[in-house]
Amino acid sequence: MPLLKKLVGAALVLGGVAAIAGWFLSAPVRLGAATLAQLGPGDADRGKRIFYAGGCTSCHAKPGSQGDARLQLVGGLELKTPFGTFVPPNISQDTKDGIGAWSVEDFANAMLKGVSPSGEHLYPAFPYISYARMKPADIADLYAFLKTLPAVAGKAPANSLGFPFNVRRGLGLWKLLYLSDKPVVSFPEGTPQPVQAGRYLVEGPGHCGECHTPRDLTGGTRKSQWLAGAAAAEGSGIVPNITSGEGGIADWSEADIANYLETGFTPDFDTVGGAMVDVQRNMAVLTREDRAAIAAYLKAVPPHPNGYPARKKPAS
């Protein structure tokens, strides 16, 4: 019996130590002074480019919006995933319901660290895992552009998540595994500048890997299958392989890719569909050089076979 009491006591002590360690390790981490100093004053004209590269309207405009209404970032789109339903919030300049009262430092912490002004972890349905690779100056430019957009009152509905996904603190441990500002794909010295520029756009603001890369059981992207395609987060569809591996875009030239991003037409004259419609619409606003850089990068990334389960053939 004394031995049993000692074992129980030791287990309780170890459990307490682990709980305390987990609490500290899961704490939100904000940007340091050196990074904040790189933000700069911000330029709205440059920020417009980052706004469309990041596809902000795709998630934060009211669903179904067209024309100028796509710049009213009131939120409300429902993203139904295996972890629950996430609803992008109002990020308009409304000071009560949106982010009009946020400082540039608040905005940078949300974008680069996934931390809200109140010090809470943000859910990675907001793709800060990709945005973490962005330059602080580009964050400041985006902030400046958002300041030019209208304030729209109205809070988006809350997320609908079950336990344990409704416990935000646990995201701190998840971030230790997945949050990094390092590039996904390493290229040798002397790699052409367009490839490097494309890497920044695809891996950072464009956050292409968030949809086009398979995920593991905890929801992190499998970087060993970068851009290999994935089962769609919503519904039963797939997001295609955009590497030059089997099932991907090996037979697309750089010009084909750039033209697709500009016009929405594939090399065989099919048209863009599904969630990619909004993405292509945003990419068409970028410069010809940006689209060419994205194409150069996609042709330079390591090829992978399709990263999603094979489709079942219909019964005959």
For residues 252 and 122, state if they share a domain. Answer: no
Write the Ramachandran bin of 234: left for phi over 0, alpha for psi from -120 to 50, otherwise beta: beta
For residues 161 and 214, state if they share a domain. Answer: no
Model confidence at 116: pLDDT above 90: yes
Is 14 part of a structural domain of the chain? no
**pLDDT tens digit sequence for 9-49:** 555 555 555 445 554 567 898 999 999 999 999 999 999 99
Q: What does the pLDDT read at residue 129?
A: 97
Q: pTM surpassing 0.85?
A: yes
Model confidence at 147: pLDDT above 60: yes
Last residue of a domain, one of 152, 181, 210: 181
Last residue of a domain, one of 140, 160, 181: 181
Domain of 47 in residue numbering reads as 30-181
Report whether 245 contacts 304 (CB < 8 A): yes
Confidence of residue 169 (pLDDT cuts 50, 70, 90): confident
* Per-residue 3-state assignment (H helix, E strand, C coil) for 119-162: CCECCCCCCHHHHCCCCHHHHHHHHHHHCCCCCCCCCCCCCECC
For residues 173 and 263, state if they share a domain. Answer: no
Instruction: Flag the least confident range among 19-23, 121-125, 220-224.
Output: 19-23
Q: Residues of the chain with pLDDT > 70: what percent?
A: 89
Instruction: Flag the least confident range among 27-31, 111-115, 226-230.
Output: 27-31
Confidence of residue 314 (pLDDT cuts 50, 70, 90): very low
Looking at the structure of the chain, the number of domains it has is 2
Is 288 part of a structural domain of the chain? yes
Is 239 part of a structural domain of the chain? yes
Among 127, 156, 131, which residue's Cα sits nearest to residue 219?
Answer: 127
200 vs 43: CA distance, rounded Å? 19
Share in percent of the chain as helix, strand, coil (round to 5) = 40, 5, 55
Residue 184: C-alpha distances to residues 81, 220, 227, 258 (Å): 24, 13, 11, 22
Is 315 part of a structural domain of the chain? no
